[in-house]
Amino acid sequence: MSRDGPAEKPPSLAVVEAVAAKNGVDPTDLECLLADVIDPTALDKLFEPMSKHERRSGVVKFRFCGRDVTVWADGSVDVR
């Protein structure tokens, strides 16, 4: 299991970086496009702060580049 903690980067970027790290490649060398499995803009919007409050709950799970990916509302990403 590889779980990156909450980050300041958009979830879409965190997913690409986490999957690339798990696969041992540079993010630009991934053979898959995130947009082929999930809308990156929608993923980022789903977890952006609401007004003055951060989202404290919510999770999205999907497969990307042969990996099971879980993204939590706090920005954490789990790649298996």
pLDDT in tens, the chain (80 residues): 445 555 578 999 999 999 999 999 999 999 999 999 999 999 999 888 776 666 568 899 999 999 999 999 888 999 99
The identity of residue 64, as a single letter, is F
Per-residue model confidence (pLDDT) at position 60: 97
Count other C-beta atoms under 10 Å from residue 45's C-beta. Answer: 12
Per-residue model confidence (pLDDT) at position 54: 61
Residue length of the chain: 80
Q: What is the helix (H) or strand (E) element at residue 79, kind and residue range?
A: strand 77-79
pTM of this prediction? 0.85
For residue 38, the SS3 value is coil
Domain boundaries, the chain: 2-79
Per-residue model confidence (pLDDT) at position 47: 84
